[in-house]
Amino acid sequence: MTTTLSRPPSTEKPQPKGSSSGVRAVKKVLPSGLQLIILALLVLFPVGFVILAAFTDTSPGPGSLADTSFTISNFQVLFTSSALMAMLNSALVGIGSSIVALVIGSGMAFLAARTNVPGRKLIYFFGIAPLFLPALVGALAWAQLGSPASGYINVVARAVGVPDLINIYSFGGLIFVLGLYYAPYTFLMVHSALSLMNPDLEDAASLHGAPLSKMLRTITFPLVMPAIVGSGILVFALTVENFPVAQVIGVPGQIDTLPTLIYRLMNASPSRQNAAAAIAVVLTAVLMIVVFVQQRTVAKKQYTTVSGKGVRARRVPLRKWRWPAAVAAWAYFLLAVILPIGALLVTALQTSPYLGQLSELFQPGALSFWSMGQTLQDSEFWHVLQNSVIVGLGTAVVGTALCFALSYTRYRTNAWGRKALEYIAMLPLAIPAIVLGLGLLWTWLTLPIPVYGTLIVLVIACIAVFIPQGYRGVSSSIVQLDKDLEDSAIMLGARRPKAISFVTIPLLRVGLSSTFLLLLMLGMRELTAVLFLFTSDTRLLSIAIFDAYDNGSFQQAAELSLLYIVVIGILAVLARRLGAKDVH
């Protein structure tokens, strides 16, 4: 006898044909679509508003778009003597500082990576140490060291009977300071290329009797030339768009660059925002071309210096030049770090704002910690520091999460528009920070989202400027992680979000923590992007330093700069310790 089991009639309504494919399409488009909207608000809208302002007769703002009319008259400012001189100055400063940075950075990289110079590990630290000294702070310090009237170097020179040695407020001074603090970028790129170089060609040259000098000239340096040229182009782009150093060193010497001209036009009375936008468009176009060339040049490096097998770069014996080379490396560290910090310390401790003779520093009561103590007791200082920490942490948390989402979508999914995500995320590399800050000002004044005048808009600005660095950091880690590890968790029954949370993210902890700390430090030290966005309640430590300098209070600027260095130093130590924990 058999029993037949009957299935009860289904109460579910039949799904319309094609509904499942529609849901799949939405799921495929939704993640990348949301990310594209976020990137549009961060990058595309600001750039669009700058272009709009450049070609219209009114500045973007609430209710102003309806009365806008098209014009190209804004670009007439490019043919004025001030704009032409600013363009020429920017080009000369960019070329000069690039040469200085290339000589210093490449030389330090060669010493640290390929020679038997005494203290090679210490020289590597010397090569990257200026990265922890913001360019604004370095410029302020050298303004105290090299001022023609009361700079400490000139005061010491006059004390020993030597006429004034240096005028930092000059073309040479501006090029020197920029080259000094952008040399680490060249150092890192060239050091990487030299360390990864396959020594087989050098060994072959030696076996065939080539002397050391000829081997270096014909084998070693040509192999790292893409890294040298690429870093030179990068430094050119960074120095051309630099605002803090140009404002502190260049403007007192009547040397205008394009960023300082944009700042001056924005702060003119009445404000010439449309003219500033026209100059910003030209500056951005030039930098886009420069960055494109730099990316193409650096891309060649992997085909000329990196091999597929483990290698150990050979050491070049310096013989009698070992100690002179070490002295040169120490001299760079002295000029870039020791002297500036010493100048800031003396300026902060001086009880008199003027110094005519060196002997005045050794008189009773000439130096005192009283003013520094007053600054530490000032509630405004702690408010500014709190704002900086909040903005730094917000930039790090939100920026790291966004960069992970972008990298995961780009390299782990087949979502629609994933390549466009990468392109837009890297676009700020070619947009000067002062231009992006200008566009963000108009974006958040126009959009009906009440974030202008809050710390949120400062976080948005920092994320917009530094998203390429964060994206690169996360992407370099995620492409090295085998996708099968996450897929195995899916096959064992875990849903995708759980697999990401418990498998992918823990395995990426080194890359994610490094990106977090990088964005934290960059957010803490940013000035240019937030220059047009802060209010009296949302001032940051970098803004407070710049305001103190702008108001002629050099002692307060020095005090805040020293405290600024301490905060960044703590962050650097934290980064080192957390990085070591992740490695272990």
Question: Which residues, at least 6 apart from 191, have a Cβ–Cβ distance to it below 8 Å?
Answer: 108, 109, 112, 113, 124, 127
Tell me how many helices (H) and strands (E) the chain has: 28, 0
Per DSSP, what are the bridge partners of residue 306? 197
Reduced to 3 states (helix: H, G, I; strand: E, B; else coil), residue 408 is helix
- What the block records as the tokens of 31 is 């993640």
Question: Which residues, at least 6 apart from 261, have a Cβ–Cβ distance to it below 8 Å?
Answer: 82, 83, 86, 279
126 within 8 A of 324, measured Cβ to Cβ: no
390, with CB counted inside 10 A (0-12, 13-18, 19+), is middle
- pLDDT of residue 221 exceeding 80, the answer is no
Average pLDDT over residues 375-397: 91
> Please, how many CA atoms are within 13 Å of residue 96, restricted to the half-sphere of its CB?
15
Reduced to 3 states (helix: H, G, I; strand: E, B; else coil), residue 197 is strand
Neighbours of 129 (CB within 10 A): 16
Confidence at residue 20, expressed as pLDDT on a 0 to 100 scale: 61
**Computed from CA positions of residues 48, 440, 95, 324, in that sequence, does the dihedral angle turn out positive or negative?**
negative
Report residue 19 CA to chain centroid gap: 47
- Please provide the size of the chain in residues: 584
Question: Which residues, at least 6 apart from 399, have a Cβ–Cβ distance to it below 8 Å?
Answer: 462, 463, 466, 467, 470, 515, 519, 523
Reduced to 3 states (helix: H, G, I; strand: E, B; else coil), residue 318 is coil
DSSP state of 65: G
DSSP state of 503: I
DSSP state of 68: -
Average pLDDT over residues 159-164: 81
The identity of residue 50, as a single letter, is V
State pLDDT tens for residues 277-331: 999 898 888 888 887 776 676 565 444 444 444 455 667 777 788 899 999 999 9
Distance, in Å, from the CA atom of 509 to the CA atom of 477, rounded to the nearest integer, reads: 9
- 176-180, 357-361, 550-554: which has the minimum mean pLDDT? 357-361
Distance, in Å, from the CA atom of 251 to the CA atom of 85, rounded to the nearest integer, reads: 13
Does a cis peptide bond (omega within 30 degrees of 0) precede residue 252?
A: no
Question: Which residues, at least 6 apart from 157, have a Cβ–Cβ distance to it below 8 Å?
Answer: 163, 164, 165
Fold equal for 32-56+366-583 and 78-271:
yes
State pLDDT tens for residues 116-142: 888 888 998 999 888 888 889 999 999
Confidence at residue 507, expressed as pLDDT on a 0 to 100 scale: 80
Neighbours of 460 (CB within 10 A): 24
19, with CB counted inside 10 A (0-12, 13-18, 19+), is exposed
Confidence at residue 101, expressed as pLDDT on a 0 to 100 scale: 95
Reduced to 3 states (helix: H, G, I; strand: E, B; else coil), residue 5 is coil
- pLDDT of residue 201 exceeding 70, the answer is no
Reduced to 3 states (helix: H, G, I; strand: E, B; else coil), residue 414 is coil
- What the block records as the tokens of 12 is 């579910």
DSSP state of 57: S
Percent of the chain surpassing pLDDT 70: 85
Reduced to 3 states (helix: H, G, I; strand: E, B; else coil), residue 56 is strand
Confidence at residue 484, expressed as pLDDT on a 0 to 100 scale: 73
**Greatest mean pLDDT range, 91-105, 216-230, 346-360:** 91-105
Question: Which residues, at least 6 apart from 238, have a Cβ–Cβ distance to it below 8 Å?
Answer: 182, 185
Confidence at residue 5, expressed as pLDDT on a 0 to 100 scale: 45
Give the Å distances, CA to CA, from 515 to 40, 48, 380, 468, 474.
Answer: 22, 28, 30, 11, 7
Confidence at residue 190, expressed as pLDDT on a 0 to 100 scale: 85
Distance, in Å, from the CA atom of 180 to the CA atom of 176, rounded to the nearest integer, reads: 6
Distance, in Å, from the CA atom of 297 to the CA atom of 548, rounded to the nearest integer, reads: 41
Confidence at residue 476, expressed as pLDDT on a 0 to 100 scale: 78
78-271 belongs to which CATH class?
Answer: mainly alpha
Confidence at residue 358, expressed as pLDDT on a 0 to 100 scale: 74
* Mean pLDDT over the full length of the chain: 83
167 within 8 A of 84, measured Cβ to Cβ: no
- pLDDT of residue 434 exceeding 60, the answer is yes
State pLDDT tens for residues 446-501: 888 889 989 999 999 999 999 988 888 888 778 777 777 777 777 877 787 788 87
Average pLDDT over residues 401-422: 87
Confidence at residue 578, expressed as pLDDT on a 0 to 100 scale: 61
State pLDDT tens for residues 2-60: 444 444 454 445 555 455 666 666 666 777 889 999 999 999 999 999 999 899 888 78
Give domain limits for the chain.
Answer: 32-56+366-583, 78-271
Tell me the CATH number for domain 32-56+366-583.
Answer: 1.10.3720.10
147 within 8 A of 169, measured Cβ to Cβ: yes
**Ranges of H-type helices in 267-412:** 273-299, 301-305, 322-333, 339-349, 370-377, 379-412
The model's pTM: 0.83
